[in-house]
Amino acid sequence: MALRNIRLEGDEALSVVCKPVTKMTDHMQELIDDMFDTMYENNGVGLAAPQVGVLKRIVVIDVTGEDPMVLINPRIVESSGEQTGYEGCLSVPGKSGVVTRPYYVKALALDRNMQEITVEGTELLARCICHELDHLDGIMYTTKTEGPLVDNSELLDDAD
Ligand code: NI
């Protein structure tokens, strides 16, 4: 397993509109494996390629720990409803902020074999798809928060 360095907020890579993938390569398969390793190692539920410094339209998501998905050149084609809640980002470690997102989204993308796939999700998956796709356009969730960022430890106090 190979971990990649996660770029932190303020890094130039996080404010770039990333390029579409036109062809799958061994190099890119390795990148995708590394992105999963890096995401799981850091207890994340999603990671976008620019967060590891690769300016391509690739994201990995796994909100349950048992449902890994790769979305290449993803785009949201349908969304509905609204949810307001805390979200965080591996590029802003230890913090969370309140963001309003659609309750439901449907996205079209390519999988790691460059086959077309449709992904639908509600709640956390919908939030995660929106958050990761924003990264591909250089948009950080911190530009969409309502109110201040809080330390995750404050949120965990309630849970315990
Ligand atoms: Ni993020």
Q: How many helices (H) and strands (E) does the chain have?
A: 3, 8
Counting Cβ atoms within 10 Å, is residue 38 exposed (0-12), middle (13-18) or buried (19+)?
buried
Looking at residue 156, its pLDDT comes to: 73
DSSP per residue, 108-142: EEE-TTS-EEEEEEEHHHHHHHHHHHHHHTT--GG
- Tens of pLDDT along the chain (160 residues) come to 799 999 999 999 999 999 999 999 999 999 999 999 999 999 999 999 999 999 999 999 999 999 999 999 999 999 999 999 999 999 999 999 999 999 999 999 999 999 999 999 999 999 999 999 999 999 999 999 999 999 998 887 654 4
Q: Cα of 117 to ligand 1 centre, how many Å?
A: 22
Buried b (16+ CB within 10 A) or exposed e, 110-119: bebeeeebeb
CA 34 to chain centre: 15
Q: Which residues, other chains included, contact 71 with Cβ-Cβ below 8 Å and sequence gap of 6+?
A: 58, 59, 60, 61, 107, 109, 110, 111, 117, 119, 129, 132, 133
Catalytic residue among 123, 132, 146, 154: 132
132 is catalytic: yes
Q: Cα of 140 to ligand 1 centre, how many Å?
A: 7
Q: Cα of 59 to ligand 1 centre, how many Å?
A: 10
Distance CA 63, CA 93 (A): 18
